[in-house]
Structure 1
Amino acid sequence: MASSNFIDYVKLNVRSGAGGAGSMHFRREKHVEKGGPDGGDGGRGGHVILKGNAQLWTLLHLKYTKHVKAFDGKAGEGARRTGAIGKDIILEVPLGTTARNAETGEQLFEITEDGQELILLKGGRGGLGNDHFKSPTNQTPQYAQPGESGQEAWVILELKVLADVGLVGFPNAGKSTLLSAVSAARPEIADYPFTTLVPNLGVVSYRDYKSFVMADIPGIIEGASQGRGLGLRFLRHIERNSILLFLIAADSTDIREEYQTLLNELRIYNPSLLDKDRLLAISKADLLTDEERASLQDELPDGMDVLLISAITQEGIEQLKDKIWKHLNQPFSVN
């Protein structure tokens, strides 16, 4: 398999900086032999921060970054001078990136806005200088706090593609062909399964200079929710789509069964996916004869609004855009 520039999963060893030690110091000046304690506090350690960047579409820039360490805080000094704060490390990531603990699987947060900054690991607190510990009964404290250690963890960053419409279908259903027909995206297209190995995004132009984003995502197969085929690599991307556009080829042996199989895989992976608006398009309509078109109605799932489309002849493409735009702006539930 050829290498790809689309990277949607990285695992990093992350360490925040340790806090600087507090200072144990006493004021000593000419004519002041026994000045009081004036040790300053240590600076906090550097944080490790994730920052959203709308210009990034992949985690490729982090692919070969295995260890990330922020800088330690500096120790405090006399005259109540606080040590310098350790430098933060800021990792810029695409919108839709989630962070989770690699050991527990716990999701920590998700980056959804450009410029959004969230702390992945906090730096250690700086220790208090001896100035904080003076009291009427202890006017010359002989101790100060050490700095707090930094944190360390293995963290997994995963990218979920941000798109208005996610294309759902078996391999070779014509998803890449449709995307290339309605947008400027140019995904690889060929007549064999799993041509699409990574998500492709396309901006679809609509009337009056409006637009929406469509994602062609690797094809689903029966058992994908258990990791077969491209499995979970595919399924996590459709969680972020507003509408799911199911695409089934006109030459399918059983359209109704294929649709139910796709629904079942989504249900097993995440039942909430079925709460999203759904549209069904029958692709490759240019292959159908008039007789086959007439008999097709009996093969369609009940209660679904279905469109016949052809990316080759452009049949039904504008009607499909209209349907999608209506769903995006006037959403309604599909049973």
Structure 2
Amino acid sequence: MADFADPELVQLLTPEGERIEHPDYRFDGDDETIAGFYRDLVLSRRIDTEATALQRHGELGIWASLLGQEASQIGSGRALAPQDFVFPTYREHGVAWCRGLDPAALLHLFRGVDQSGWDPAAYNFGLYTIVIGAQTLHATGYAMGVQLDDAVGTGEQGRDTAVVAYFGDGATSQGDVNEAFVWASVTNAPVVFFCQNNQWAISEPTTRQTRVPLYQRAAGFGFPGVRVDGNDVLAVHAVTTEALQRAREGSGPSLIEAYTYRMGAHTTTDDPTRYRHSDEVERWKLRDPIERVRAYLRRVHAVDDAFFDDVDAEAEALGERLRTECRQLPDPDPAKLFDLVYAEQTPELAAQRDELAEWLATEVA
């Protein structure tokens, strides 16, 4: 386990809410921007809390929690330019929030009423990927396409594009991730590999997967890697901003290891008390990403109590809306299963669709 005094760990905001300097990275935003980050952190956690509760009440089939990882997602998500494209796992609810995706759309997939719930092109935010690590290859291929489209290294703001692939520490043991590293390196693809190292690949600790810090693996593939305090939204934003700019200007891929902690279960089907100690969770509560931003805002008197009250009220309203809209989602039309499989419907699929429709009509009758 890394120490927060580790000189290799980029940190700009301590767990106590104190701003500190780093020789290589700086956060250029003002206190108003930091207050906006606080709002993002609180609302993304509320999305997670409500979805977890909905699953416990039988309204969702499953849910993958982001509890404790909010700073990694908000810090990186707010560093993205509109033209950048994101390839998420199944846990990037905070990044989805930053991309303007209605959080209610996330519930479609987990309720089983839709295969995604959103149009990736509308938000430059791909569909959630359940297959561990597969999205890194998708991201690398997309980044290679960006190069072919002459949308990297032109110097035109709004044209040059970076691609981000999110994944967890467990995915680094998958062949797909390492193959993506190879392709990205040899093609100099404009992709940022963003690893949220929450230290537990379901029930396996990171120490069972690697002998060296994950960010150091990048050197073996020929591109830079950096480890950042994943609970520090300012540091994550600074590090991601630089990596994205590097990709856009044509300098190739980067690996960011956001050192964070999964404070909850892997998913709602998991019981983390079976494989980790409660004292470990309690230690990480002291590094809560939301509380350190709150402490900073209070320390410098950037906002008043009304600001925090307003954010809490907004979070409450968001939670109520998610509960209502989730329960109102209509049951899916089984025939839609055959839509969008191919650009043009095949005779075989059409026959299967008609057979299903006939059977359903018989069952209803």
Fold similarity call, TM over 0.5: no
Q: Write 1 or 2 for the structure with the bigger share of strand.
A: 1
Structure with greater Cα Rg: 1
TM-score by length of 2: 0.28
Q: Taking CA–CA contacts closer than 8 Å with sequence separation of 6 or more, which of the two structures ends up with the larger relative contact order? A: 2
TM-score by length of 1: 0.30
Q: Write 1 or 2 for the structure with the bigger share of helix.
A: 2
